Amino acid sequence: MTPRKSPQAPPHCPNPDCRFHCGDTSSWRWIKNGRFTAGRSGRSTQRYICRDCGRSFSTRTFRSTYWLKRPDIFLRVARGLVSCSGFRQLAAGLGVSPQTVARHAARLGRQSLLFHETMRKKAPVQEPLALDSFVSFTYSQYFPTHFHFPMGRASHFAYGFTESECRRSGTMTRAQRARREFLERTLGRPDPKAREKDVAAILRMVVEGASGLDLATDEDRAYPRAIRRSGIDVRQHTTSSRAARTTRNPLFPVNLMDLQVRHAGANHKRETISFSKTVRSAIERMWLTLAWKNYVKPFSEKTRGATPAQRAALTDRKWTFRQIFRRRRFPERVGLPERWRAHFEGTTPTRVYGSREIRVPRYAY
Ligand SMILES: [Zn+2]
C-alpha cells in the first residue's frame, strides 16, 4: 500500500534501532501523518510515521541540513571554510553568530566523513602510497596535533587520516619549558607512543586486504615501528625530508596536501589566532577539507583535470558541495571504522578541557 517509487518517498526509517534503518527496506511500511510548516522558507513538509517502530519523521529528516535553523547558509559555510575564512569572519559576513557557523562546520565535517567512507569503500587501494603527518596545534602551541595521511602517489587521493596528540617539541625558552612542565603536571603527558599507534591504525584501516604495496615516507623512526605494529604487508621506502620538494619526490602528494590544507584552512596558518580551539573541531574541519580536495577540486589548478577521486577510479565525475551534501547520510548505514566513529561522534577529547568539553547531542548529525 505504501508507494515507494515517488522521488519524495522516504528511503528508509531514520531510527537507527529500527530493522528498516539499514539493509533491505522493500517490505518497509510507513503512513503519512499530516503536514507542517516550519523554518524561514514557509514551505509545507510531509510528516510520516514508521509502521514498524512508530518513529515520527518528515522529508526534512533526510536532508543534511536537518535541524539547522539556517539551512540556506550551509553551502556558503562549506565554501568559506575551504577558502581560508575563520568562524568569526564567516559569521560576520553571513550575519549569524560564530556558534551557528561552528554548528554548521561540525555538521559539514561529519557528513564529509560519511560521504568519503561511502566512496572509499568502493575499491581497495591499488596504487603506491605516500604517508606523512601534518602538524598543527589546537588551543595553543603547547598542544600540537599530528594528522597522519596516506595519499595515493598517482591519484593524490587522501585515503583518510588519524590524529595524535603530541608533546610540544623544538626550541623553547626557559619560560616556555617551565610552562610545558606545569601543563604536563596538571593535565598529564600525551602518550609517547601515540604517533606509532595512530599511524598503525590508519594503515590498517586503509591498506587492509592489499599486500606488497609501496609506501613512501620520510626518515621519521616512528613509521617503521608503526608498520610493524600494524601487521600490514607494505614495502617502505624512505626519502629524506631535506630532499628537494619537487613533483619527482615520492612524497610530493603529501607535501602538496600539507600546502593545500594550510592554504585553505584559516585554522592551520602559522602565527594565527583562528586556530581550532578543540581537537574535535580540527578533525571535523579536516574532513571537510579532505572531501573538497578529493572530490571537488581538480587535480591541477592549471590544467583543470579530473579530481583525485576520479584518478583513483572511485567515481567517474567531479562533485560539487551541493551534490555531496544533497542528502543526509547516516553512520549506521555507512558503517564506520571505530576510529572514525569517534570522529563522527565528536568524542575525541581536547586535553586542556578534560571532562568539561561539551559533547555533541546525538540528534545533531
Ligand atoms: Zn522504524
CA of 78 to the centre of ligand 1 (A): 31
CA of 15 to the centre of ligand 1 (A): 6
In this prediction, residues 324-330 reach a mean pLDDT of: 95
CA of 66 to the centre of ligand 1 (A): 18
CA of 31 to the centre of ligand 1 (A): 11
pLDDT of 7 reads: 62
In this prediction, residues 243-268 reach a mean pLDDT of: 81
244, exposed or middle or buried, with CB in 10 Å at 0-12, 13-18, 19+?
Answer: exposed
C-alpha 134/C-alpha 148 separation (Å) is 6
pLDDT of 1 reads: 47
Q: What is the mean pLDDT of the chain?
A: 87
Residue 213 has pLDDT above 50, yes or no: yes
The interaxial angle of helices 279-291 and 74-81, nearest 10 deg, is 90
CA of 50 to the centre of ligand 1 (A): 5
Among residues 74, 215, 14, 21, the alpha carbon closest in space to that of 132 is found at: 215
In the chain, pLDDT over 70 holds for what percent of residues?
A: 89
- Condensed to tens digits (0 to 9), the pLDDT of residues 54-104 reads 999 999 999 999 888 899 999 999 999 988 778 888 999 999 999 999 999
pLDDT band, residue 154 (cuts 50/70/90) = very high
pLDDT of 339 reads: 94
pLDDT of 267 reads: 66
pLDDT of 179 reads: 87
Asked whether the beta carbons of 206 and 160 are under 8 A apart, the reply is: yes
Say which residue, 161 or 266, is predicted with more confidence: 161
- Condensed to tens digits (0 to 9), the pLDDT of residues 281-316 reads 899 999 999 999 999 998 777 767 899 999 999 999
CA of 13 to the centre of ligand 1 (A): 5
CA of 27 to the centre of ligand 1 (A): 12
